[in-house]
Each structure stands twice: as structure tokens, then as C-alpha cells.
């Protein structure tokens, strides 16, 4: 008999371990798949729901595609994983939906980036469309540093890593992170950069604190979630002069810092949500 729920991982983090413990307590029939070691098949009888929790975005997309092809529900769905996994695709959906984000110029190679420089004012943020944990996200203060970053990025084989999002730097040193599960906004935290970095990523030692969730923020988070097509996502938002600017969406969200700051049991919520879907 097929399982109720499958957890797909590659390199399990704390998040995957506590999700697995919660599944173990739930009484659901479950299957654990490590996509690094297990060949994947388009199965006749997949688990009803696949929780996709690989670190690699590419792997997450393939797992979601294979499971959805067999009729399973992937969390997150393939479309959400692909869109959230690429910042240009994300911002394009935002633009269409009228969701505010920091002014951004896209340059698909070095030459375009050099021209893009004329369109922006330093300091700017330069980042590639893919990646996480703040990797290659650079605060660029002048033209000379910008030129050398462009030169370095041209050396990568990957087309995505030669691609630039050149973005207005939003000052403040902190941002909001909001978790959304289905139609529920679970909560919000402030993340601020620790000393020695300017990026707020928890993976870089960013500090966390519980944040107030006002109605405007709640509505914005639900709008972002529906535009991305996410089931379980994290949204990063800047607050500037009482205005919210959405930075990005994470389709395989880490939530260790969120749990620490809010005391919300995220894996419990997630598995309750899975049970609710199975009852429908």
C-alpha cells in the first residue's frame, strides 16, 4: 500500500530531522527518500503527499516533477520551487502582480552589466538569480569594485552565475521573514546581520527576534504565496519608511531561527496541514 506522506531529502538539516520525528509521532504511513542515494521512478503508486526538502534547488525541482507526474501532491509544487528558486522569475511574478520590491536591473552577461552600471546609483546589491544563504550576494560601493565583481562572475561556467540582479541597497541591516503554510500566515521574525557581516541570513549568524504581524503584512504574505503558488514558503521582506518591499521567496524554507524566536512548532503545524489535506 502506498504511503500517506513521503519526506525527500538530500543532506538532512535540523529541519528535516524534526519533520521526520513529527511524522513518526503522527501515525501516518510514511516513506523517507534520500534523493542522493535512491534512484527515482515514475511510480504507479506514490505516497499521496511528498514533502520536498532537498538543499539543492535543482534536485527539489526534479523530485517535485517526478512525484507530480505520478499524481502525488508535492509540497512545494514544481512551479513554486522553480519560481522561488530563481530571483528573476520571482520578481517577474511580483511585477505582474503589483507586489513591491527593491528597484532592480537585470544583466544577462558582463557586457550588459557594465552598461547597467549607468542605470543605478551606488551602493548597490549585486547577486545571481540562484543561490541561498547569502552566497555571492555582494554590497557594491563603487564602480571599481563593481567592475571587478563582473569580471569574476564572468569566470563561472554556469550561465546563471554570470547573470546579475543589480538592486538598490535597502539600508537598515534587517529584514522580516514570514512563514506561510497553506492559507495560514504562521508568524514573522526580524532577522538582523550579526557583527562581521551585513547580510541577515541565519546561516551567516543572523540574529532573530519575534516580529509583530499586522494586517498589511499578513495580506502581503498571502498575496506573495498565491502568486508563487506555494504551499509552505518563507518570504523575506524589507521595511523602509513604513513601506514593505519583498525581497525573495524560499521554496524549501529553513525555519530553525523562526522557531527559536517565535516558539511556534513548525513541523507540528506542517504535519497537521498534511493530515488535513489527506482528510479532504
Ligand X SMILES: Nc1ncnc2c1ncn2[C@@H]1O[C@H](COP(=O)(O)OP(=O)(O)O)[C@@H](O)[C@H]1O
- Decide: is 201 part of the binding site for ligand X (CB under 6 A): yes
125: which strand partners? Answer: 139, 167
Bin 81: left if φ > 0, else alpha if -120 < ψ < 50, else beta: alpha
What CA–CA distance (Å, rounded) separates 163 from 147?
Answer: 14
* Residue 72 CB, nearest approach to ligand X (Å): 27
Binder of residue 137, out of ligand X, Mg ion, none (CB less than 5 to 8 A by kind): ligand X
Binder of residue 167, out of ligand X, Mg ion, none (CB less than 5 to 8 A by kind): ligand X
Piece in contact with ligand X (CB under 6 A), picked from 58-66, 132-140, 252-260, 262-270? 132-140
Helix H segments across the chain? 14-26, 57-69, 78-84, 87-97, 110-116, 143-153, 215-228, 256-262, 266-279
- Decide: is 86 part of the binding site for ligand X (CB under 6 A): no
* Residue 177 CB, nearest approach to Mg ion (Å): 8
What CA–CA distance (Å, rounded) separates 208 from 259?
Answer: 10
- Decide: is 211 part of the binding site for ligand X (CB under 6 A): no
- Decide: is 261 part of the binding site for ligand X (CB under 6 A): no
Q: What is the dihedral of CA 110, 114, 115, 120, to 10 degrees?
A: 120
Nearer to ligand X, 24 or 172 (CB): 172
Nearer to Mg ion, 73 or 164 (CB): 164
The three grid cell numbers given for residue 180, joined into one nine-digit string: 506561510
What CA–CA distance (Å, rounded) separates 20 from 267?
Answer: 8
Piece in contact with ligand X (CB under 6 A), picked from 13-21, 41-49, 168-176, 211-219? 168-176
Binder of residue 200, out of Mg ion, ligand X, none (CB less than 5 to 8 A by kind): ligand X
CB atoms within 10 A of CB 142: 10
Piece in contact with ligand X (CB under 6 A), picked from 41-49, 109-117, 196-204, 221-229? 196-204
- Residue nearest to Mg ion as judged by C-beta position: 236
What CA–CA distance (Å, rounded) separates 217 from 225?
Answer: 12
Question: For binding to ligand X (CB under 6 A), which residues are involved?
Answer: 102, 125, 127, 131-135, 137, 167-170, 175, 199-201, 236, 247-248
Amino acid at each position: 500500500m502506498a504511503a500517506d506522506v513521503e519526506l525527500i531529502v538530500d543532506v538532512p538539516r535540523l529541519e528535516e530531522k524534526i519533520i521526520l520525528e513529527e511524522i513518526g509521532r503522527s501515525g501516518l504511513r510514511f516513506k523517507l527518500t534520500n534523493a542522493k542515494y535512491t534512484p527515482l521512478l515514475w511510480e504507479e503508486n506514490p505516497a499521496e503527499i511528498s514533502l520536498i526538502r532537498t538543499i539543492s534547488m535543482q534536485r527539489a525541482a526534479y523530485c517535485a516533477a517526478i512525484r507530480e507526474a505520478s499524481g502525488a501532491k508535492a509540497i512545494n509544487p514544481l512551479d513554486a520551487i522553480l519560481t522561488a528558486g530563481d530571483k528573476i522569475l520571482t520578481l517577474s511574478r511580483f511585477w505582474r502582480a503589483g507586489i513591491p520590491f527593491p528597484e532592480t536591473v537585470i544583466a544577462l552577461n558582463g557586457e550588459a552589466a557594465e552598461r547597467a552600471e549607468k542605470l543605478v546609483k551606488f551602493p548597490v546589491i549585486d547577486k545571481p538569480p540562484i543561490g541561498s544563504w547569502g552566497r555571492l550576494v555582494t554590497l557594491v560601493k563603487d564602480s571599481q569594485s563593481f567592475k571587478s565583481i563582473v569580471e569574476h562572475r564572468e569566470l563561472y561556467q554556469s550561465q546563471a552565475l554570470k547573470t546579475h540582479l543589480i538592486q538598490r541597497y535597502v539600508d537598515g541591516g534587517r529584514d522580516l521573514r514570514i512563514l506561510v503554510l497553506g492559507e495560514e500566515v504562521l508568524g514573522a521574525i526580524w532577522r538582523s546581520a550579526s557583527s562581521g557581516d551585513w547580510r541577515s541570513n541565519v546561516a551567516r549568524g543572523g540574529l532573530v527576534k519575534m516580529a509583530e504581524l499586522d494586517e498589511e503584512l499578513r495580506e502581503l504574505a498571502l498575496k506573495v504565496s498565491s502568486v508563487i503558488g506555494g504551499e509552505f514558503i518563507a518570504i523575506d521582506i524589507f521595511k523602509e519608511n513604513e513601506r514593505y518591499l519583498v525581497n525573495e521567496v524560499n521554496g524549501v524554507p529553513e525555519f530553525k531561527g523562526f522557531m527559536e524566536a517565535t516558539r511556534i512548532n513548525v513541523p507540528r503545524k506542517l504535519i497537521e496541514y498534511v493530515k488535513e489535506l489527506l482528510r479532504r
